[in-house]
């Protein structure tokens, strides 16, 4: 635990006091945690991730606790590992498993001597890998964790950056906003802003969405002469939850990958619970707009004459503009539903679909197709050359590269935290009868605490997953892991204040004072995060999907 506390202090102190780049702060903290972790803790952490707990042993039958996805429940060579988990030396007996049947395993022959309980069953391959990992140097473990994190989400973040940049440069993002607003009418402009910002925040980072839509909010406030606060808050209501709940933004993408949750399931779940947070935020937005009248203070607003651009006809069509966003979502959702339903289309068609749908629904392929469609919206723009397209892609990759570095460092930091075997430590401190809702509440509160301390929602999610996953492995989940991912996403929203860059983006760009930003932005995100978390709790209880 001391190593974890030291690592957290380095991250928080490095970012807040020494003004280090987030990547450097996370990287230095990762090295320190890895160097301070005892080798037997590394081994224990690896064993916990790939072992099944033995409940009872009788003759040739082994009764197991709940078997997770990481456990290789196949016939072959195994070890029964017994002994106290906090001791460096463990007693391992080699056995051969003939077959598995639900939560029981059948041995080929009786054991020479009965192992001490509690004990664990683990394949010899995984046991050897755990021992090998414990003997690896700290720097090698950090480098390996960095590479694994990049393999999971590096390509996805790069493709999402290209999608966002091309949508902005081509005018496709502006077309989406304009079309939705015109379809709903001026009376429902705030709802149009909510829907537009939610859609745009799926492939585009929230601060970019805010930069894009704020001029439209200022134009509407100047035209009507009132409700400036409502227009600004409607952008926040729509865009902020997608940033933490719906991939491919880095936070939910990373959390989903660490919990082995498909991107399609995470996106569907994020939208489902996010709607309730948006609803709660919308109600607070209407109340706050009646409570406080915040004027449009910028002189630049005098230059804005209309919310619609003068060259509206030169923007791409709505259908082409929306394709880079909806096609990846459709493909990812299609794969999720196809795996769940497992339809049979006949001997001729089924093998083709079994190959095509997993390929197209692969997260890297789906996002890459979205990036190609986004580049198409830009190259079809009048007077756009291939050189300009290349510059836009280069800018997107440069910005996305920084995000990838931070995310990979955060992933390595979480992995080093896991290797301290903190999950077993925390699990031993918690009541043995902890419920699923208690685990969700803990995930929410851990993420919230990290968020308040260091400010970044994405970093909070990345850091929290390293603490929550080992605990979930120890206790077991009575529901689908997507609910745990959603609880972490909800916990990254409440209580943003001065150490959050988003706080200053909202304050400075909109012209709000610090007090006004705390009353509106900070309270709004807190309400939305709590409402979405309560929706997650209810959904996990009613539809556990275990």
Residue 486: is its pLDDT beyond 90?
A: yes
CA distance 248 to 166: 16
Residue 427: is its pLDDT beyond 60?
A: no
Least confident of 274-288, 383-397, 519-533: 383-397
CB atoms within 10 A of CB 411: 27
Highest mean pLDDT (candidates 58-67, 82-91, 120-129): 120-129
Q: Is the dihedral of CA 88, 91, 94, 97 positive or negative?
A: negative
Q: How confident is the model at residue 306 (pLDDT cuts 50, 70, 90)?
A: very low
CA distance 441 to 536: 10
Q: What tens digit of pLDDT does each residue of 12-49 get? A: 788 768 878 778 888 998 899 899 988 888 888 888 77
DSSP-derived pairing of the beta strands 76-82 and 104-107: unpaired
Do 155 and 368 contact (CB within 8 A), yes or no?
Answer: yes
Query: Looking at residue 428, what is its pLDDT?
Result: 61
Q: Which residue has the higher pLDDT, 70 or 262?
A: 262
Cα–Cα–Cα angle for 237, 210, 406, rounded to 5 degrees: 100
Query: Looking at residue 303, what is its pLDDT?
Result: 40
Least confident of 212-216, 351-355, 456-460, 507-511: 212-216
Q: How confident is the model at residue 313 (pLDDT cuts 50, 70, 90)?
A: low
104: which strand partners?
63, 101
Residue from 487, 491, 481, 476 nearest 435 by CA: 476
Residue from 195, 196, 211, 201 nearest 247 by CA: 201
CA distance 458 to 524: 18
82: which strand partners?
91, 119
Residue 2: is its pLDDT beyond 60?
A: yes
Query: Looking at residue 251, what is its pLDDT?
Result: 81
Q: How confident is the model at residue 327 (pLDDT cuts 50, 70, 90)?
A: confident
Average model confidence (pLDDT) across the chain: 80
CA distance 389 to 397: 12
Q: How confident is the model at residue 447 (pLDDT cuts 50, 70, 90)?
A: confident
Contacts of 204 (CB under 8 A, 6+ apart): 163, 164, 167, 168, 173, 212
In this prediction the pTM is: 0.69
Angstrom distances, CA of residue 430 to CA of 122, 423, 439, 441, 468:
25, 11, 10, 13, 13
Q: How confident is the model at residue 400 (pLDDT cuts 50, 70, 90)?
A: confident
367: exposed, middle or buried (Cβ count in 10 Å: 0-12, 13-18, 19+): buried
Query: Looking at residue 218, what is its pLDDT?
Result: 73
Highest mean pLDDT (candidates 386-400, 448-462, 466-480, 507-521): 386-400
Q: Which two tokens stand for residue 157?
A: 């973040």
Least confident of 23-32, 165-174, 461-470, 481-490: 461-470
Q: Which two tokens stand for residue 259?
A: 């919990």
Q: How confident is the model at residue 529 (pLDDT cuts 50, 70, 90)?
A: very high
Query: Looking at residue 286, what is its pLDDT?
Result: 92
Query: Looking at residue 299, what is its pLDDT?
Result: 47
Residue 345: is its pLDDT beyond 70?
A: no
Cα dihedral 483/488/489/493 (nearest 10): 140
Task: Output DSSP code: residue 368.
Answer: H
Angstrom distances, CA of residue 475 to CA of 211, 256, 423, 438:
43, 19, 9, 11
DSSP-assigned states of every residue in 378-429: HHTSTT--HHHHHHHHHHHHHHHHHHHHHHHHHHHHHHHHHHTTHHHHHHHH
Query: Looking at residue 68, what is its pLDDT?
Result: 57
pLDDT (mean) for 480-489: 92
Task: Output DSSP code: residue 204.
Answer: S
Q: What tens digit of pLDDT does each residue of 148-190 get? A: 888 877 887 788 788 878 887 888 877 876 776 777 776 777 8
Give the 3-state DSSP-derived string for 121-189, with helices as H, strands as E and coil as C: EEEHHHHHHHHHHHCCCHHHHHHHHHHHHHHHHHHHHHHHHHHHHHHHHHCHHHHHHHHHHHHHCHHHH
Q: Which residue has the higher pLDDT, 305 or 542?
A: 542
CB atoms within 10 A of CB 323: 20
Q: How confident is the model at residue 544 (pLDDT cuts 50, 70, 90)?
A: confident
Q: Indicate the SS3 state at residue 491.
A: helix
Q: Which two tokens stand for residue 459?
A: 């970093």
Least confident of 82-91, 329-338, 410-419, 503-512: 82-91
Residue 298: is its pLDDT beyond 60?
A: no
Q: 3-state DSSP helix/strand/coil percent for the chain, to nearest 5?
A: 70, 5, 25
Least confident of 296-305, 319-328, 347-356: 296-305
Q: Which two tokens stand for residue 486?
A: 């959603």
Highest mean pLDDT (candidates 179-188, 228-237, 344-353): 228-237
Residue 500: is its pLDDT beyond 80?
A: no
Residue 401: is its pLDDT beyond 50?
A: yes
Query: Looking at residue 20, what is its pLDDT?
Result: 80
Residue 386: is its pLDDT beyond 70?
A: yes
């Amino acid at each position: 635990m001391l190593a974890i506390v030291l690592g957290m202090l380095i991250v928080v102190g490095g970012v807040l006091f020494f003004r280090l780049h987030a990547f450097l702060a996370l990287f230095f903290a990762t090295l320190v945690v890895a160097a301070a972790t005892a080798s037997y803790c590394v081994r224990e952490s690896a064993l916990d991730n790939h072992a099944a707990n033995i409940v009872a042993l009788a003759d040739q039958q082994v009764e197991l606790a709940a078997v997770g996805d990481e456990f290789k429940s196949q016939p072959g060579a195994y070890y029964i590992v017994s002994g106290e988990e906090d001791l460096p030396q463990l007693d391992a007996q080699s056995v051969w498993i003939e077959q598995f049947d639900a939560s029981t395993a059948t041995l080929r022959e009786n054991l020479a001597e009965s192992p001490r309980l509690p004990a664990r069953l683990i394949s010899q391959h995984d046991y050897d890998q755990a021992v090998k990992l414990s003997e690896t140097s700290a720097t090698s473990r950090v480098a390996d964790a960095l590479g694994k994190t990049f393999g999971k989400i590096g390509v996805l973040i790069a493709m999402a950056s290209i999608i966002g940049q091309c949508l902005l440069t081509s005018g496709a993002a502006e077309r989406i906003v304009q079309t939705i607003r015109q379809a709903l009418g001026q009376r429902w402009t705030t709802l149009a802003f909510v829907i537009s910002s939610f859609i745009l925040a799926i492939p585009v980072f929230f601060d970019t969405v805010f930069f894009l839509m704020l001029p439209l909010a200022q134009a509407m406030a100047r035209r009507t002469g009132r409700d400036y606060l409502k227009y600004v808050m409607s952008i926040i209501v729509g865009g902020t939850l997608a940033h933490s709940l719906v991939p491919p933004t880095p936070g939910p993408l990373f959390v989903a990958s660490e919990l082995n949750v498909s991107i399609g399931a995470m996106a569907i779940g994020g939208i489902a619970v996010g709607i309730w947070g948006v609803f709660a935020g919308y109600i607070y937005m209407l109340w706050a707009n009646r409570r406080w009248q915040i004027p449009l203070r910028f002189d630049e607003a005098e230059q804005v004459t209309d919310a619609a651009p003068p060259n509206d006809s030169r923007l791409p069509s709505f259908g082409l503009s929306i394709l880079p966003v909806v096609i990846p979502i459709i493909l990812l959702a299609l794969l999720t539903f196809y795996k769940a339903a497992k339809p049979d289309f006949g001997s001729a068609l089924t093998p083709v679909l079994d190959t095509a749908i997993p390929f197209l629904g692969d997260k890297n392929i789906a996002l890459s197709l979205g990036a190609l469609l986004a580049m198409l919206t830009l190259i079809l723009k009048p007077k756009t050359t291939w050189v300009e397209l290349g510059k836009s892609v280069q800018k997107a990759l440069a910005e996305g590269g920084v995000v990838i570095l931070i995310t990979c460092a955060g992933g390595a930091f979480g992995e080093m935290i896991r290797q301290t075997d903190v999950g077993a430590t925390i699990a031993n401190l918690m009541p043995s009868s902890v419920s699923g809702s208690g685990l969700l509440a803990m995930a929410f509160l851990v993420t919230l605490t990290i968020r308040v301390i260091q400010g970044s929602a994405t970093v909070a999610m990345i850091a929290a997953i390293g603490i929550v996953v080992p605990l979930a492995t120890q206790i077991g989940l009575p529901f689908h892991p997507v609910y745990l991912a959603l609880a972490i996403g909800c916990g990254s929203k409440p209580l943003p204040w001065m150490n959050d860059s988003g706080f200053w983006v909202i304050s400075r760009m909109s012209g709000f004072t610090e007090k006004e930003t705390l009353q509106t932005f900070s309270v709004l995100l807190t309400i939305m995060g709590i409402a979405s978390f309560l929706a997650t709790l209810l959904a996990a209880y009613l539809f556990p999907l275990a």
